[in-house]
Amino acid sequence: MASEKPDHDGPDRGLSGLPGGKPKYSAFALARQAMQYHQGWQRAWRDAQPQDEYDVVIIGGGGHGLATAYYLAAVHGISRVAVVEKGWLGGGNTGRNTTIIRSNYLWDESAAIYEHALKLWEGMSQDLNFNVMFSQRGVLTIAHSEHELREMSRRVHAIRMNGIDSEILGPDEIKKFVPIINIDQTIRYPVMGGFLQKRGGTARHDAVAWGYARAADDLGVDIIQNCEVTGLRRNGRRIVGIDTSRGFIKTRKVGCVVAGHSSVVAAMADIRLPVASRPLQALVSEPIKPILDTVIMSNAVHMYISQSDKGEMVLGAGVDKYNSYAQRGSFPVPEHMISAAVELFPVLSRLRMLRHWGGIVDTCPDASPIISKTDVEGLYFNCGWGTGGFKATPGSGHVFADLIANDRPNRIAAPYALDRFQTGLLIDEHGAAGVAH
């Protein structure tokens, strides 16, 4: 058992920097542009027009889709790839999440994929020549009851068995780590303890989409925005192309990474997925001086908080209770989350809210994603990330590209196949994934 180490050492990160010849970003480039009043910056990716045919088409220009396209080109050498996006890059959940990154999941299957992602995060800015502002400021999950604390220590042991860093903290250690937290034992949900993953943290979510887009474009990938998929064309059991608002595109491989709209696109190929589309809400306060240099999560009161580099307090809630495609949530959810935040951090009570938004997440019955082939040959789905997809962006793209290129899942992706809902081999991560991010 001990010899079976998870496969997350040294993932094949593909090519580093921008080998395609695009001008690189650097301190020198910045200085040179400063002398020219910043008039000489080139656009980060071409405004590509759809060609007649591609080897692979990725539907969905969010972080996961762009990462998939990048790794298809960088690791597998497939550069006749198009990413079609109905809106603009990163305009969906990639630009709506609260940017939390961690890999402290309970089960081995989850540890493998999320740690694979975390390893890729650690080298991402260099690989993409784009500063994604990955900040390993730590992610602290707090417990509010004796039972939760016990369950947490079980989880920490499981995480450490998988070679991933995690440690239990008592209330006093938490107070030392996060001076603004209220550890008074008389509040409704007192801080009884918590656990910390120091390698966790945050990243700039837009930069992740832009960085992958720029690096993929550098390798010849066409990024086609404002192009909505209207149909999946099949010949018998095999995919032969996609119909879009900008015409038909011929291809024999389609990777679908559309999050909240997965069921809608799947229905175009008569495929049913076990996902439910729900709103997930978040908000930011007005910017203030730095008071919180880590990420705090609480599963019991459904709240997670960090402070952005601009100074805004970034807060996120749990999913809404009913299905929706409306990209807006219902009011009681953020109200509940704010009341929890103010009890834990009384210092926030007079902050004003700056923006509030919702995104549509595709939740799975076992709170784990689907990375899978389908009954239609050449059609692949990467969906069901639910509330926690952002942290997995590079790992998800990496293994999905591998699945598409080789037409078979690798060791990390295999447990996430669709047939687990028939065999019953679920990866139940409600404990670890139920709330955040």
Task: Give the span between the Cα atoms of 200 and 137, in whole angstroms.
Answer: 7
Q: Nearest CA to 239 among 259, 213, 265, 273?
A: 265
Is 152 in a helix, a strand, or coil?
helix
The residue from 342, 421, 428, 431 that contacts another protein (CB under 8 A) is 421
E strand or H helix at 318, and its extent?
strand 313-319
Compute how many other C-beta atoms are within 10 angstroms of the C-beta atom of residue 52.
10
Least separation in angstroms between CB 392 and another protein: 21
Window 251-290: residues binding another protein (CB under 8 A): 261, 263-264, 272-277
In the complex with another protein, the residue whose CB is nearer, 215 or 258, is: 258
Least separation in angstroms between CB 418 and another protein: 10
Least separation in angstroms between CB 415 and another protein: 16
CA dihedral for 414, 420, 423, 428, sign (positive or negative): positive
In the complex with another protein, the residue whose CB is nearer, 201 or 386, is: 386
In the complex with another protein, the residue whose CB is nearer, 180 or 267, is: 267
In the complex with another protein, the residue whose CB is nearer, 225 or 330, is: 330
- CB proximity list for 357: less than 8 A, separation 6 or greater: 96, 281, 282, 283, 327, 328
Q: Could you please report the per-residue DSSP string of 25-60? A: P-HHHHHHHHHTTT--PPPSS--PPP-SEESEEEE-
Residue 397 sits at the vertex; the CA angle it makes with 400 and 124, to the nearest 5 degrees, is 150
Q: What torsion do the CA atoms of 101, 103, 106, 107 make, to the nearest 10 degrees?
A: 120
In the complex with another protein, the residue whose CB is nearer, 311 or 365, is: 365
Least separation in angstroms between CB 94 and another protein: 20
Q: Nearest CA to 120 among 249, 2, 208?
A: 208
Least separation in angstroms between CB 54 and another protein: 27
In the complex with another protein, the residue whose CB is nearer, 94 or 324, is: 324
Residues 105-144, mask of contacts with another protein (x by CB under 8 A): ----------------------------------------
Residues 310-329, mask of contacts with another protein (x by CB under 8 A): -----------xxxxxx---
Task: Give the span between the Cα atoms of 416 and 158, in whole angstroms.
Answer: 20
Answer left, alpha or beta for residue 14, where phi above 0 means left and psi between -120 and 50 means alpha.
left
Q: Number of residues in contact with another protein, rule: CB under 8 A?
A: 23
Least separation in angstroms between CB 163 and another protein: 32
Window 329-388: residues binding another protein (CB under 8 A): 330-332, 365
- CB proximity list for 126: less than 8 A, separation 6 or greater: 16, 17
In the complex with another protein, the residue whose CB is nearer, 127 or 429, is: 429
Least separation in angstroms between CB 386 and another protein: 13
Least separation in angstroms between CB 240 and another protein: 23
Give Cα separations from 29 to 34, 41, 298 (angstroms): 8, 9, 42
Stretch that binds another protein, among 116-124, 133-141, 400-408, 417-425 (CB under 8 A): 417-425
Site of interaction with another protein (CB under 8 A):
261, 263-264, 272-277, 321-326, 330-332, 365, 421-424
